[in-house]
Amino acid sequence: MAKIKYTKNELKSQKDALRRFTRYLPTLTLKKQQLQLEIQKAMHAIEALEDKIRQLSKSIDSWIAVFGEDVSLQDIISVKALNKKIENIAGVDLPVFVSAEFNIQEYDLIQMPLWVDFGVEKVKQMIELRFQLLLLKTKQALLADELRTTTQRVNLFEKIKIPESRENIRKINIVLGDMQTAAVVTGKIAKHKIEAKYAAA
């Protein structure tokens, strides 16, 4: 704790600091609640997406097992671009999925097995979902970092800065009050001495 001066200027500066801390605290508390809510939303979205990926994977596996042809879809489909945008929530810049673009090589519809069209669509879906999942996990991590920082600030204000300022104000008021009382008493003693001196003369 920094050493305080027992002056009127210090009292004013401590009162100003207390006002500042008590004004910022509700904003920080609100931000903390908003971050907690956004983290919960991200967790639910991740769970839903992971479930979707499992279901898609299961449907692909059961479908591919029916066909024996060995066709490499990697030669047919490739990722052209994975597009995202940045969205600001509670003061944090977060990535949000926009779209996925693909390059599809033309292939001979007569020579290729019928399931290739289905396979290409499912691969596109899987890449999109995995990209969305990656962005959601990044979003969750960024929100968690911000929540940690905000919680530290809330605790600093609530448990240290505000009580410290209040205690400093209390101490300064006591010392200034004692000094004022001492000045009044000294003044009265001096006055009595002067009066006594004049009376004796």
The pLDDT of residue 90 is 87
- The DSSP 8-state label assigned to residue 56 in this structure reads H
In angstroms, the CA 112 to CA 76 distance is: 11
SS3 content of the chain, % helix, strand, coil (to 5): 75, 15, 15
Contact 172, 25 (CB under 8 A): no
Look at domain 8-166 and name its CATH class: mainly alpha
Contact 35, 160 (CB under 8 A): no
In angstroms, the CA 39 to CA 45 distance is: 10
Average the pLDDT over 79-91 and give the result: 94
This prediction's pTM: 0.78
The DSSP bridge partners found for residue 82 are: 100
100-155 pLDDT, tens digit each = 999 988 877 667 767 777 788 888 999 999 999 999 999 999 999 999 999 999 99
Average the pLDDT over 175-197 and give the result: 78
Residue 2 has pLDDT above 70, yes or no: no
For residue 74, what pLDDT band results from cuts at 50, 70 and 90? Answer: confident
Helix (H) or strand (E) holding 70: none
The pLDDT of residue 71 is 61
Residue 199 has pLDDT above 70, yes or no: yes
- The DSSP 8-state label assigned to residue 73 in this structure reads G
How many other C-beta atoms can be found within 10 angstroms of the C-beta atom of residue 157? 19
Residue 194 has pLDDT above 60, yes or no: yes
